[in-house]
Structure 1
């Protein structure tokens, strides 16, 4: 029976952060199976899953800053 006082929050497990993705994290796919097992546990009162997303013109993209290349660091005014 689910415990209404418990929740599992799964943050940013998405293709972009997995091997072959646009912002791949080394070993990122190693969290998939453990996360699936946790999400399948019927004891959670709620399972919340988030996904990182930005519109095409978001300030976080290098293309929005003249002279910046992807993965470069810049100071925003």
Structure 2
């Protein structure tokens, strides 16, 4: 069974994006999946994402992602 997108391009939010593996796979769909935003806290990964996909927007708030675990 072969499926196709009948309504155009699917917009994608890449959560926990890392260095962009899922976004790279989405590119292989020949434009049927478009990554519009990333969520990534690692600054090195964010640099890679911005280099390869400058149109993507990183939606991470550092204030919400940093915490100290309780002492045991």
TM-score normalised by length of structure 2: 0.35
Larger radius of gyration: 1
TM-score normalised by length of structure 1: 0.33
More relative contact order in 1 or in 2 (CA 8 Å, sep 6+)? 1
Write 1 or 2 for the structure with the bigger share of helix.
2
